[in-house]
Amino acid sequence: YSQGTESYQQFAVRIAEMLQDPAQFKELYPYLKKVGYMPSNKKDTVNG
């Protein structure tokens, strides 16, 4: 969720930064997959 008066751009930057953390990525991966996320290479997969 966005925080307070955070803009869409600020929210996008925060999510992108969160996804750099392997633990956060692993937690969010099922949701990303559900909405159509497809890793560009094996490096991006959790169980790859």
pLDDT tens string 1-42:
778 899 999 999 999 999 999 999 999 999 999 999 887 765
Cα angle value 32/47/23 (rounded, 5°): 65
Q: So what's the pLDDT on residue 47?
A: 53
Domain membership of residue 26 (yes or no) is yes
**Under the phi-then-psi rule, with left for phi > 0, alpha for psi from -120 to 50, and beta for the rest, what region is 33?**
alpha
Q: b/e for 12-43, b at 16 or more Cβ within 10 A?
A: eeeeeeeeeeeeeeeebbeeeeeeeeeeeeee
Cα angle value 39/41/45 (rounded, 5°): 55
Q: So what's the pLDDT on residue 38?
A: 83
Domain membership of residue 48 (yes or no) is no
Give how many domains the chain has, as a whole number. 1
The whole domain housing 34 covers: 8-43
Q: So what's the pLDDT on residue 17?
A: 93
Domain membership of residue 3 (yes or no) is no
- The pTM for the full model equals 0.59
